[in-house]
Amino acid sequence: MANTAQADHRKATGAHYTPPVLADFVASHVVKSWSAISDANIDSIADPAVGDGELLISLLRHLSAEQRSTLLVRGFDTERSAVGSANTRIRKAYPRVRVELECQDFLELALASSSDENNHELFVDKKTEQMFDLLIANPPYVRTQVMGASQAQLLARQFGLSGRVDLYFAFLLAIARFMKPGGIVGIIVSNRFMTTRAGAAVREVLPEVFDILHVWDLGDTKLFEAAVLPAVLLLQRKGSTCHDALPRFTSIYTTASGEPTGEFANAVAALNVDGVVSLQSGERLLVQQGTLDRSDVWRLTNSHTDKWLEQVAQKTHCTFADVGKVRVGVKTTADRVFTRTDWDQLPSDERPELLLPLSTHHNARRFKPDFSKRQARILYTHEVVQGKRVAVDLDRFPKARKYLEGHRSTLEGRDYVIKAGRQWYEIWVPQDPDAWRLPKVILRDIADTPTFWMDLDGTVVHGDCYWITSGHEDADDLLWLTLAVGNSTFAATFYDRRFHNKLYANRRRFMTQYVEQFPLPDPRADLSKKIVGIVKDLYDRIPDDPPELHDRLDELVWRVFGFSVEEIRR
């Protein structure tokens, strides 16, 4: 029960206390960066989400006794017990340091000061009249659906955010208001903000107020107990001097290939390496060094990656988005009512009309779906009338009406459907009813390797997958070419070098914003035609498809983009 309670508390508050090895790493770089630019006294340091105080203790440890003797330590947290614990720990370790920790919501204080940008009295040391010189933080990871829509909307308005708002997005922007020009910030965030559309506003604004010194994408290093994939941002508040150096970027992820160049006690200790390393635990990690490319998503770039992507661009005829829109599947928001595998167990006079076959991640298999298990079907309540999608008239489908009426309280509980002016029995995101009958490529949202398959059975696609269909005259061959490229090791390499948004265990997110940018070669090229022929042959042979056919197909995909056999998987 204790573990469950802790997990519930973490979900509600976003509290993932920083492990000492990571706290030391961030603190050391904050102090090192300050020392490189200034020999002035440090008047104040702060942590806006102090937690158990680990980050502040690490920061104090890396400062000299002389530096500690003159500064004020500030900290804020909404958890009274955390503030008490942090206060005790810091005073015990550094009894002569001035410490002021408050049980306050840092963002509320930031919002209170936003009406007058010159009014920073809550954050100013009255004696020195200076804002923070150094700040270190691991702000809470709380998403819109947890914090509540009203608070998310308030934060979005105040800080110019859009889309799905994470609480730490607001922390990133609020911190800038209270940093001394030239002040250094070391902050631990979720690495997803660097690649998601929701984080785009932060990625755009952050460089306007901070010089980005270094970004570390710590990937699936399992530094936190929870499934948090962290990144560390080392920032300097913009001041009178110009910072010309390109931001550094380091990434570290698990890998199954390559010979390790050395063994390290933990992932943090290996962050200065460039190449494959092993840990004492037996894990193998790939560390990559480069600079930050923030053209759209934030990603690592170096001469090798740039050259590789440039060659791909030269051989790209179009992208997956040019074949057709990459759409997520239907979202009923009441799957227990609409989607079932046991419809046939209902008496025939109770079995609803409007049932359509459903493709889900349970049917996922590369190239061809696996329906060896009982297939789910969906009660699909939409149709197209005179070119417009509408909810079906249930008077035409008495058994469907009876079934849905039996679940009416559940369906009407989706008040957002009613408020949107929709019928109570509608699917929340039904997509295009006329498109299901068309051939389409379906793909898993989350997978360690690309998993695309061709649907020729007119199924509806569930919301745990994405799908592509096309209205081109040569749509058939284009879709088969899309299928072949999507399932290739080339596509996985392109994803890693272009986006590099990974989850635990090396899993990737195959969603619209990434997949729509996947490249396709000229379908008229001889190699492209060979690829289409092989992928059709492979599809027809499944489940008796020989491995060498997969290898041949994969090799041709690499070759059509201009890579020799020797360069494949280099």
User: pLDDT tens-digit profile of 162-206?
Assistant: 555 566 677 788 888 889 999 999 999 988 888 887 788 788 888
> Token pair of 362, please?
């349970």
Query: Would 321 be classed as within a structural domain?
Result: no
Q: What is the pLDDT of residue 5?
A: 38
Full 3-state SS string of 183-221:
EEEEEEEEHHHHCCHHHHHHHHHHHHHEEEEEEEECCCC
311 falls within a domain: no
- Provide the pLDDT for residue 374: 74
Same domain, 194 and 99: yes
∠ CA 474-520-564, nearest 5°, is 130
Look at residues 37, 6, 47 and name the one whose alpha carbon lies nearest to residue 188.
Answer: 47
User: Structural domain of residue 254, as residue ranges?
Assistant: 246-301
Instruction: Judge if 252 and 337 occupy the same domain.
Output: no
Domain presence at residue 320: no
Structural domains of the chain, count: 3
**Are residues 94 and 152 located together in one domain of the fold?**
yes
Question: What's residue 155's pLDDT?
Answer: 61
Q: Given this model, what pLDDT does residue 163 score?
A: 56
pLDDT of residue 240: 65
Spatial distance between the Cα atoms of 159 and 128, rounded to a whole number of angstroms: 28
> Is 309 among the domain residues?
no
Residues 267 and 202 in one domain: no
Position of tokens 């050395």?
A: 262
CA dist 197 and 297 (Å) reads 8
Comparing CA positions, the residue from 532, 168, 162, 494 lying closest to residue 316 is 494
Residue type, 564: S
Give buried/exposed letters for 487-505 (b at 16+ CB in 10 A, else e).
bbebbbbbbbbbbbbbbee
Domain final residue pick, 191, 224, 242:
242
Q: Say whether both 181 and 287 belong to one domain.
A: no
Residue 313 lies in a domain: no
Radius of gyration of the chain (CA): 27
If asked whether residues 126 and 270 sit together in one domain, one would say: no
Residue 310 included in any domain = no
The answer as to whether 338 is a domain residue is yes
- Residue recorded with tokens 């308030």: 154
- C-alpha 202/C-alpha 173 separation (Å) is 8
Closest CA to 519 of 285, 261, 322: 322
**Are 88 and 162 in the same domain?**
yes
Residues 235 and 372 reside in one and the same domain: no
Shared domain check, 257 and 230:
no
For residue 287 the two structure tokens come to: 């560390």
Q: Does residue 306 form part of some domain?
A: no
Tell me if 62 sits within 8 A of 31, measured CB to CB.
yes
Same domain, 334 and 259: no
212 and 272 in a single domain? The answer is no
- Specify whether 251 is located in the same domain as 234: no
What pLDDT, on a 0 to 100 scale, did the predictor assign at position 145? Answer: 39
Measured CA to CA, the distance from residue 191 to residue 179 in angstroms comes to 23
End-to-end CA distance of the chain: 48
pLDDT given for residue 440 in this prediction: 96
pLDDT in tens, the chain (570 residues): 334 334 443 343 444 568 899 999 999 999 999 999 887 889 999 999 999 999 999 999 999 999 999 899 999 998 999 999 999 999 999 999 999 999 998 888 777 765 444 444 444 444 334 489 999 999 875 444 334 455 556 666 666 555 555 666 777 888 888 899 999 999 999 888 888 877 887 888 889 899 999 999 998 888 866 567 889 999 999 986 767 789 999 999 888 878 899 999 999 999 999 999 999 988 999 999 999 998 888 999 989 899 999 999 999 999 999 999 999 999 999 999 999 999 999 999 999 999 999 999 999 999 999 988 778 999 999 999 999 999 999 999 999 999 999 999 999 999 999 999 999 999 999 999 999 999 999 999 999 899 999 999 999 999 999 999 986 656 789 999 999 999 999 999 999 898 877 776 678 889 898 999 999 999 999 999 999 999 999 999 999 999 999 999 999 999 999 997 666 555
CATH of the domain at 419: 3.90.220
